[in-house]
Every structure is written in C-alpha cells, then in structure tokens.
C-alpha cells in the first residue's frame, strides 16, 4: 500500500542536478502550509520531467520506488534515498524570540561603526586594537 511522503499544494518547483541528488521538488505542502518543503531524490530525474508541477503528490510505493503524480502526469522514480526538509524558522523564532540588545552594547557598536566610516576613525580603531 503506498505511503504519502508529501502532498504539495499549488506550484512546485522541480530542479534537475548532476550528482547524487538528481531531482529536487520544492513548494508548500497541504500538511504544513506555513513551511517551505523540499524533497530531494537520490536518483536522476526522468528525461521528460517538467520544470514546474501543480498540486503534486509523492507516494512511496515500495522500498526505493516512488511515484510523483500531478495533473501533468505520473512519473516513477527508483531512488536510493529521499530527503525531506522543512523550513521551521518561523516556528523556531515564535517559540524562542530573539532577546533584545542591551542599550550599552547598541551604543558601543554604533560608535564603532561611525568611527569605521572615516579614515581618522579607522586609525583610532587601529591604535586601540594594538
């Protein structure tokens, strides 16, 4: 019974590449609409594979055998491995917001950058560094 790896919603970018990861699909999935998802196949891309797909679905048929289905057609791929990546930066920074920079540190770096903007300031910074 096929297992769904990814069910993309909307436009899916399809990139061919020489080397071990020959086909990469990138887009947004129905399961995680806020995260950009990338699916990389350790196999060469089929010759007739398009540059973009709409509403693609990727199923694992058996170990190492995958089907990519969309309105444009179906493709079977034999891959040694498949790598699924999700961009979780939004959730990460929502859970751990960046801490505010202390005013003293902000003033220090503002002063250093202002000095670095002129020749005289650079010479002062160089003399302080020694």
Residue 17: per-residue pLDDT: 87
- Rounded to 5 degrees, φ, ψ at 43 are -165, 155
pTM of the model: 0.69
Residue 46: per-residue pLDDT: 85
Residue 89: per-residue pLDDT: 86
Residue 85: per-residue pLDDT: 94
Residue 121: per-residue pLDDT: 93
pLDDT along the chain (130 residues), means of 10: 89 90 92 90 89 93 92 92 90 87 95 94 90
Q: What whole-number distance in Å separates Cα of residue 18 and Cα of residue 11?
A: 23
Residue 93: per-residue pLDDT: 86
Please, what sign has the CA dihedral across residues 69, 73, 78, 82? negative
């Amino acid at each position: 019974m096929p297992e769904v790896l990814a069910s993309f919603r909307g436009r899916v970018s399809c990139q061919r590449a020489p080397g071990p990861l020959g086909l990469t699909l990138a887009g947004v999935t129905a399961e995680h609409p806020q995260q950009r998802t990338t699916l990389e196949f350790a196999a060469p891309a089929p010759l007739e594979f398009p540059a973009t797909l709409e509403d693609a679905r990727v199923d694992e048929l058996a170990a190492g055998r995958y089907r990519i289905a969309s309105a444009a057609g179906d493709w079977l791929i034999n891959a040694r491995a498949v790598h699924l990546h999700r961009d979780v930066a939004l959730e990460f920074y929502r859970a751990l917001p960046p801490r505010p920079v202390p005013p003293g540190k902000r003033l220090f770096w503002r002063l250093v950058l202002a000095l670095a903007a002129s020749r005289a300031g650079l010479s002062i910074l160089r003399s302080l560094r020694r």
